[in-house]
Amino acid sequence: MTHPIQEVLQRIGVNDHPVAVAVGNTWQAGASEALTGKSPIDGSTLVTLTQATPSDVDMVVATAQSAFWTWRNVPAPRRGEFVRLIGNALREHKADLAAIVSWEAGKITQEALGEVQEMIDICDFAVGQSRQLYGKTIASERPGHRLMEQWHPLGPVGVISAFNFPVAVWSWNAMLAFVCGDPVVWKPSEKTPLCSIACQQIVNNVARDFPEAPDGISSLLIGGADVGQALAAHPDLPLISATGSVPMGRAVASTVAGRLGLSLLELGGNNAMIVTESADLEMTVRSALFSAVGTCGQRCTSLRRLIVHNSIADKLLASLKKAYEKLPIGNPLDEGTLVGPLVDQRSLDAMQTALRTAEEQGGTVHFGNPINHDVPAGGCYVHPAIVEMPDQTEIVRQETFAPILYVIRYTELDEAIALHNGVPQGLSSSIMTNDIRQAEQFLSPTGSDCGIANVNVGPSGAEIGGAFGGEKETGGGRESGSDAWKAYMRRATNTINYSTELPLAQGIKFDL
Ligand code: NAD
């Protein structure tokens, strides 16, 4: 019997035997051993393909490099038109692509549809951006001179992505890169090969009818960490944008730095919510719930630490526990399910180990048990956990990529902010309060140290219009909206002398 995902893939134009390496419309098998893609929903085999190896990288990058020579000369608004058409194709295949995301990453349908919507949104954003790649004109200190800056295409961009946003993260990078004049070479997570094949096919379908799009504007290499390292080491990829765990980021960053390349890092988070005594508790429960258990706690922005004022902690905990008791956990494709599976057994084991460690460090664990009934056999389902902690112990300072919500109590806001910032990661954060002074303090230079800081909104579920990313071990990169596009271009500062004199800067005299 064929797997239901086959029909979905065929509607997008992916043939019966997907392979691991694509350079534009040319698909070929990789040179390595077989990779079997399994669904977290029920462990069913979705695809078997021969992976890419580092030896495949040179050929793919060379094609991307020659695509760059062509694409950088296509006017930016025309490059925007290419992205507009990709956005239309994504609208057409929204439900199909979301189904692949659900099958491969285990997301509930609503969240999978939301992920594809995010791709459509970044396409729209990038189309507008294609007419706004502005430089500045700067007052020159010399008479008869003009000083200005321009933004030029950078070169082929290497994108390494994680399993938990298997399509959106690529699109945040690729759509901006395309309008900025850069081809993209993508190494997706080996856990989500079909998502990447479907995206590559969608770009291919558009590129086929877009005369200026060179072969190799979009390439794909499905393989492991060794392929990621080969991209990081490649001198013809001026920028590597890498999304994933902190250890991966360290490995990629040091390789890229070794050749003095540029890296854009989007790494792990350990996101918190401070709940003050004036918070709207009903809103707090709803936003904490979505942020903590959405995507089964497998978002980089998932809520992992709830820092609650002593005076309301008991009441809030009771409401939260009540909500956790009722969580619909199960097949993410079923309507009404809010919590799907963890991605694999390793994740489940890591969660259980973290819960035991939290207990050893003084925590009281509520829920958190694996679930084996009323869920599809073959998947790793779990009841999200709430863990009351006496303090921010070592385990709380780590990112466990699973639905564990640590609850810590505080008395003074300064103490809460110190706890909040007292972790190595710095991605997303929030405060629930109706006190404007407390809200402003949280957003001030002495408040949250994260790249994202929200008021009366949970840390999870960012819009594409803002720059996305975080500080400290999260890596410092910014993607998506605002001026994140600048990472995909190179800045040239130009001085133009339209006078008949040759004055030097700083008034230097240098005449014979
Ligand atoms: P991971 O680090 O295991 O893998 C991510 C990608 O890096 C994969 O493509 C993998 O093959 C590759 N990779 C792994 N080791 C590598 C190495 N040494 N050199 C080159 N490439 C390597 O992460 P994951 O389990 O897929 O995803 C979960 C992690 O990603 C979490 O830590 C999460 O917080 C983080 N994440 C961060 C963001 C963000 O925007 N900040 C977004 C999504 C996920």
Same domain flag for 63 and 209: yes
Does 332 reside within a domain?
A: yes
Number of domains within the chain: 2
Same domain, 355 and 377: yes
Output the domain CATH number for residue 311: 3.40.309.10
Q: How far apart are CA 339 and CA 146, in angstroms?
A: 59
CATH code, domain with 20: 3.40.605.10
Q: Name the CA dihedral angle for 128, 458, 354, 369, rounded to a multiple of 10 degrees.
A: -110
Q: Are residues 292 and 369 in the same domain?
A: yes
pLDDT score, position 308: 98
pLDDT of residue 34: 86
The span from the CA of 249 to the CA of 230, in Å, is 14
Model-wide pTM > 0.95 = yes
Residue 364, helix vs strand vs coil: strand
In a domain, 501, yes or no: no
Give the residue among 156, 190, 11, 125 at the shortest CA–CA distance from 462. 125
| Number of neighbours of residue 476 by Cβ within 10 angstroms | 18
Nearest partner of 228 among 247, 251, 246, judged by Cα:
251
Low-confidence stretches of the chain (pLDDT beneath 50): none
Instruction: Fill in the amino acid letter for 326.
Output: K
ipTM of the complex: 0.98
pLDDT of residue 194: 96
**Which of 407, 426, 455 is where one domain is finished?**
455
Range of the domain at 311: 271-455
Residue 240, CA distances (Å) to 16, 65, 117, 184, 257 in order: 32, 14, 25, 10, 10
The residue type of 288 is A
Q: Are 224 and 145 in contact (CB under 8 A)?
A: no
Best mutation site among 122, 160, 295, 428 for ligand 1 pocket (most ligand atoms within 8 Å of CB): 160
Q: Is 325 part of a structural domain of the chain?
A: yes
Same domain as 480, residue 438: no
Is 462 within the bounds of a domain?
no
Kindly report the protein residue whose alpha carbon is nearest to atom 23 of ligand 1.
Answer: 244
Query: How much is the pLDDT for 15?
Result: 78
502 lies in a domain? no
In a domain, 461, yes or no: no
Pocket perturbation via mutation, ligand 1, pick of 245, 246, 254, 472 by most ligand atoms within 8 A of CB? 245
Residue 468 in domain:
no
CA dihedral 477, 429, 380, 198 (to 10 degrees): -40
Instruction: Say yes or no: 146 and 60 in one domain.
Output: yes
For residues 280 and 341, state if they share a domain: yes
| Centre of ligand 1 from the C-alpha of residue 434, in Å | 37
Instruction: Compute, in angstroms, the gap from residue 28 CA to the centroid of ligand 1.
Output: 25
Residues 23 and 165 in one domain: yes
Residue 305 shares a structural domain with residue 233: no
- Residues touching ligand 1 (Cβ under 6 Å) are 160-165, 169, 187, 189-190, 224-225, 228-229, 232, 243-245, 248, 251-252, 266-269, 300, 399, 401, 427, 474
Helix H, strand E, coil C: the string for 300-350 is: CCCEEEEEEEHHHHHHHHHHHHHHHHCCCECCCCCCCCCECCECCHHHHHH
Tell me, yes or no, whether 25 lies in a domain.
yes
Contact status, residue 361 vs residue 389, Cβ threshold 8 Å: yes
Based on the fold, state whether residues 167 and 41 are members of the same structural domain.
yes
Q: Do 291 and 224 fall within a single domain?
A: no
For residue 1, the model assigns a pLDDT of 62
Q: How far is CA 346 from CA 145, 195, 352, in A?
A: 63, 21, 10
Q: Which pLDDT value is given to residue 23?
A: 79
Tokens found for residue 418: 């110190």
Same-domain status, 173 and 245: yes
Q: Counting atoms of ligand 1 from 1, which one is nearest the CA of 163? A: 26
pLDDT at 221: 95
Residues carrying an active site annotation: 266
Same domain, 310 and 336: yes
Distance, in Å, from the CA atom of 187 to the CA atom of 315, rounded to the nearest integer, reads 46
Ligand 1 centroid distance, CA of 245 (Å): 4
